[in-house]
Amino acid sequence: MKEEFKAFVRKRPELIKYVNSGQMTWQKFYEQWNLYGEDDKVWSVYKNDSVDASSKAKESSFGLGNIADMIKKVDMDSVQKGVNSLQKIVELLQGFITKDTASSSKGYEPRQLFKKFED
């Protein structure tokens, strides 16, 4: 009986994760196996959770190593060209803004209220 349970566990390695994490014990798994058998839908719960856990592990594996790999793949020449073009655009816009403020401040002088055209 013990060997059959061991063979069952070898078929379902996701059960090991539950025991290692402390969520279940081998005794509880053995009791469920003894009561329900190998083919019961009780085991599908553990299989589905292991798939979710593995997908979460894949999502959390996106860390500093992956970021470093992405940075290595970046073409620095194209980045430098992009930064230079953005800098030129900003300088051009600053030039328009300073010309507009300078021309609007020196061009207008208010006229006296009661002054006639020939005075």
**Amino acid 83: pLDDT:** 92
Alpha carbon separation from 111 to 18, 99, 107, 114 (Å, rounded): 88, 25, 13, 9
- CB-based contact 48:41 (threshold 8 Å): no
What predicted TM-score, i.e. pTM, was given to this entire model? 0.40
Report the alpha-carbon distance of residue 62 to residue 94 in Å, rounded.
40
Cα 54 to Cα 13, 64, 72, distances in angstroms: 13, 19, 27
Residue 106 has pLDDT above 90, yes or no: no
The C-alpha R_g of the chain, in whole angstroms, comes to: 37
19-60 pLDDT, tens digit per residue, is 888 888 888 888 888 888 888 888 888 875 544 555 555 555
Q: Confirm if 38 and 6 have CB atoms less than 8 A apart.
A: no
